[in-house]
Amino acid sequence: MPVRFGTASARWIIAAAVLGSGIAFLDGTVVNVALPAIADDLDSDVAGLQWVLNGYLVTLTALLLFAGALGDRYGRKRVFLGGLVAFTAASVLCALAPNVALLAAARALQGIGGAFLVPGSLAIIGSVFDSEDRGRAVGAWSGLTGIATAIGPFAGGWLIDAASWRFVFLINVPLAAIAFVITTRHVPESVVESCAPPDVAGAVLASAGLGALCWGLIERNVFAGLLGGVALVAFVVVEARGASPMLPLGLFRSRQFSGANATTLAVYAGLGVAFFLLVVQFQFAMGYSALEAGAALLPVTVLMLFLSSRFGALAQRIGPRLPMTSGAIVVAVGFAMFTRAGPGSSYVTTVLPAALVFGLGLASVVAPLTATVLASVPDAQMGVASGVNNAVARLAGLLAVATMPAAVGLDTGDAPGPLSDAVGTAMWASAALCAAGGVIAFLTVRRAQSVEPTVQPSVLQPCVEVTTS
C-alpha cells in the first residue's frame, strides 16, 4: 500500500533516504573546506586537489546509472544497504591515507559506494509514496539532503580546526550506521522484476571514458582525453544497440526529461566551480580559518531548511517551469555577487548578501528540478531516471572542476595560493552557466508535470513493480 506523507512510516523512510544519500552529498562539499589542510599536510599541488575531488566524482558519475538499474532489478533497499557499507569502508580508508595519491584512490572507492546510495534513496521515495504526496516527499528529501550539502563546509571547518581534516571522513561512520539500522527496520523493499542482465559493458565504458577524459583535462594530456572521448562514444553506441542498456536513450525522447537534465548540467556545473574555489578563496585570499570559511555559507543551509519543501509544494501546484527558471537565475545573481569577495572585503556587506541570494535561488530550483525528472518517466524507470539525473549533476561538477582552473588562469602545477582574480572570473562563468540553465528550463519544461512515453513498449513489458514490507 502506498505511504502517505506525514505518517510515521513516511518519516522513517525519508530519514533513511536522507541519511544515506546525505552522507554522499555531504562528502561532495565537506572535502572542499579541507583542501587547504590536505594540501599542507600531504604537500599537494592544485592538480592533486583536483584529483581528491574528481577521484570521487569519476566513479560516482560513471556508476550512478548502473547502480540505479541494479536497484530497479534486484531491490532498491538491498542495493542501498550495500552502498552504505561500501561508502563507510572507503571513508575509513580516506581518513587513513598517507599521501594524496592514496587519498584520491580511496575517494574513487568512496564514489563507488555513493553511486549505490544516491539513486537508491530517491527511487525508494518514488516507489513507496502515494503519487499525490510524491512531490512533497521529494521536496522534503531535496531540502534535507540540500542541507547536508550546504552544511558540509561548516561541519568540515569545525572538524579541521578542532582536530584534523581526517575527521571529515570519519564522521560518515556513525551517520551510516544509523542509516543502516533505520533502513533495515523501516524501509520496504521494492523491485522491478526483469530477466535482463546488468549492463556491465556500459558501466566499464562509462568508467573508463570519464576517467581518461578527466585525466586528460586535469593533466592536459591530449592522448588521454582522446581515449576518453572514444570510450564515451563507444558507450553511446553500446547503449543504443544493447538489449538492456543501463541508459535507455529513449528516455531523452521526452522533452520534459531532456530539458530538466540540460538544466541540471548547466546549474550544477556552476555549483561545482563555486564549491571547489569559493571556500578556498575564503581561506587563502580573505584569511578565514577553516571554521569561518565553512560558517560563511551557513545562511545557505538555513534557507534550504525552511524553503526547499515549500518550493517543492509550490511546483506541485503551479508546475515546475517558473520555480526552475527563476531559481536558476537567482543563483546566477548570487554567483555574480560573490565576485566582490576578496582581500579586505566585509562579510556583512559582501559575502552575506551573496550567500542569501544564492541560497534563495538554490532552494527554489532543487526540489522542482528533481520532481520534474521523476514525473517525466513511468514508475518502473524511476531508479534509472534518478540515476541519469544524478549522473548528469555529478558529470557537470566533474567537468567544471577539471576544466575551470586552467580556463581562468590558475596553474594547477603550483601549490594553492591567493586565488582572487581567478575566483572572480570563475564566479562570472558560474553565473553565466546558471543563467543558461534558467533559459533552458523556460524553453523546455512544461507547466504541468506529466509522464510522457519515453521508451519502446518492448523494454517495459518484462518489468513488474513489486513492493514488499
Whether the model clears a pTM of 0.85, i.e. scores above it, the answer is no
Cell readout for 463 is 518489468
- pLDDT averages per 10-residue partition of the chain, 469 residues: 75 86 79 86 85 86 79 83 94 94 94 85 77 74 71 80 90 91 86 70 86 81 89 92 81 89 93 80 84 85 81 84 93 93 87 94 88 79 74 84 75 57 85 95 75 38 46
3-state secondary structure 9-32: HHHHHHHHHHHHHHHHHHHHHHHH
What pLDDT, on a 0 to 100 scale, did the predictor assign at position 170?
92
Q: Which domains does the chain have, with CATH numbers?
A: 8-199+242-468 (1.20.1250.20)
How many helices (H) and strands (E) in the chain?
17, 2
Q: Which residues of 413-428 are buried (b: 16+ CB within 10 A; e: fewer)?
A: eeebeebbebbbbbbb
Query: What SS3 state is found at 99?
Result: coil
Q: Are 114 and 172 in contact (CB under 8 A)?
A: no
- Among residues 255, 248, 250, 252, the alpha carbon closest in space to that of 448 is found at 255
Q: Which three cell numbers stand for residue 444?
A: 523546455
What cell numbers appear for 311 in the block? 518550493
d(CA 150, CA 426): 20
